[in-house]
Amino acid sequence: MHITHVVGARPNFMKVAPVFRALREYSTVRQTVVHTGQHYDFNMSDVFFQELGIGAPDVNLQVGSGSHAQQTANIMRRFEPIVLEDKPDLVLVYGDVNSTVAAALVCSKLMVDIGHVEAGLRSFDRTMPEEINRLVTDQLCNLLFTPSEDADQNLIQEGVLREKIHFVGNVMIDTLVRMLPSVEARIPGDLPERFALLTLHRPSNVDDLRWLADMLCALAEFSTELPILFPVHPRTRDRIAKLGLNGALAHLGLLEPLPYLDFLALQTRATVVITDSGGIQEETTYLGKQCLTVRENTERPITVEMGTNTLIGRDVNRLRAELHRIIAGERKTAHVPPFWDGHASERIASIVVH
């Protein structure tokens, strides 16, 4: 059985690693990893392959950046000949990035079976490019592997046949569970005892320059009460430079994007994490760390209902108030959702093979 994995952007790499590893246990399975090249900087890509121990991808399509249409079309054009030549029995796609939907479109037209890892998540906000990617991908797939039961319900409501849906749990947490024992060595010696960890990269936050400036200036002011460490995504760094804010943000600890283990190490020690990422909402819930999500909605509602996540929308006053609540010692208690147990990938591998 030949399985091709397609990945392209940073959050995909933590998801493919455990599935690749679990499938390696089956001698009947041959695997190929195709990297679309959507992310290409060393810090956004290669370092993850090194740390996660899955070796270099077999193929890199080197599509690079572009508009949504350009990027999606370039992936499709370059991926199609590979599918035609390799004739895989199954293509696995991950998450909700442009690489995910592009590969699913190619395979569905060639009538090659597709499995979606992290299927069924919905923010119900079609202004998010990822929501479009999620909706289209799930309609095209033959196997849908969901991380939580709300995702099953979303798929059923969209008319997806029950027998295609498999509730397996969260593969991102598989990677976290495996890597957690290695983070101690990555804790910086000069780390403050209490600090906030900040990440921002969603277009809804960083492409609205007025809002971005308001939020970052408020956080820079707050950092006199609680130090803030801020690994900056390339898209966000570009917007900060455009705003001429580098000087005003001198108090924020601006860092380059971090490798997986270094970022996880900081999460384990942070007093609070402020983010607009999807995966970080999940990781903080697993770690029991307070998470403030600077978004109006989330495709991962279980992190709010069961976990440590609080949605604060686009409201600087609310952000300040929640931060003060947390530094005063108030905590949202949480439970780890079902099947976020480090074994989701083994369930996927077993379903795929059998």
- The yes or no reply on residue 234 touching ligand UD1 (CB under 6 A) is yes
Least CB distance to ligand UD1 at residue 8 (A): 7
Residue list 193-222, contact with ligand UD1 (CB under 6 A):
201
Task: Kindly report the number of other CB atoms within 10 A of residue 204's CB atom.
Answer: 16
* Strand-pair partners of 60: 35
Nearer CB in complex with ligand UD1: 201/347: 201
Give counts: helices (H), strands (E), the chain: 15, 13
9 binds ligand UD1 (CB under 6 A): yes
Return the residue of 29, 44, 136, 220 that touches ligand UD1, per CB under 6 A: 44
Tell me whether residue 335 is one of the annotated catalytic residues.
Answer: no
Of these, 4, 11, 273, 287, which contacts ligand UD1 (CB under 6 A)? 11
**Closest distance to ligand UD1 from the beta carbon of 206 (Å):** 8
Q: What mask, x for binding ligand UD1 by CB under 6 A, covers residues 290 to 319?
A: ------------------------------
Distance, in Å, from the CA atom of 59 to the CA atom of 85, rounded to the nearest integer, reads: 13
Distance CA 5, CA 126 (A): 27
Q: Of the ranges 32-40, 247-255, 299-307, 308-316, which one interacts with ligand UD1 (CB under 6 A)?
A: 32-40
# chain residues binding ligand UD1, by CB under 6 A: 18
User: b/e string for 24-48 if b means 16 or more Cβ within 10 A?
Assistant: eebeebebbbbbbbbbbeebbbbbb
The answer to whether residues 183 and 268 touch, using CB atoms and an 8 Å cutoff, is yes
Residue type, 23: L
How far, in Å, are 29, 69, 144, 334 from residue 308 at the CA level?
38, 36, 27, 6
129 binds ligand UD1, rule: CB under 6 A: yes
Check: CB of residue 170 under 8 Å from CB of residue 340: yes
The binding site for ligand UD1 (CB under 6 A) comprises 9-11, 38-41, 44, 65, 96-98, 129-130, 201, 233-235
